[in-house]
Amino acid sequence: MPVLAGSAAYALGEARGWPVGLARQPHQAKAFYATIAAATFLGAMANELDISAVKALIWSAVVNAVVAVPVMILIMRLAVDARVMGQFKVTGILRALGWLATAVMAAASLFFLVSWFASL
């Protein structure tokens, strides 16, 4: 089984609350095995269409970097909220470092997007 198809099926299944696991029979985890089949099919189609695996990995990293900024903002907002975190609320230097890391990631993503659009 392709590793990426399996990890995608586990990630999607866990997120959706589906029964997951290769130890289960296909009739016990239909959505899990359907995800493996779909991911394997998509990988085979990418191969047949001569889509560069290296370019696909690079673009997936770019998308992850851009999507990371709003996720980091949400995480920081939750981490500093006493209603959510209670006594474990992030304060002081950790709060400053968290927002600094978020700002650096935002600046890097913005720099990438500006330089990419300027090169078009």
For 20-66, how does the pLDDT look when each residue is reduced to its tens digit (9 = 90+)?
Answer: 999 999 999 999 999 999 999 998 898 899 888 888 888 888 888 88
Residue keyed to tokens 């696991």? 21
Which tokens is 5 given?
Answer: 């198809």
CA dist., res. 111 & res. 7, Å (int): 31
pLDDT score, position 61: 84
Read off the pTM.
0.66
Classify 13 as helix, strand or coil. helix
CA dist., res. 107 & res. 69, Å (int): 9
CA dist., res. 87 & res. 74, Å (int): 19
CA dist., res. 18 & res. 21, Å (int): 10
Which sequence spans correspond to the domains of the chain? 3-48, 54-118
**pLDDT mean over 1-29:** 91
pLDDT score, position 1: 54
For the chain, percent of residues with pLDDT exceeding 70: 99
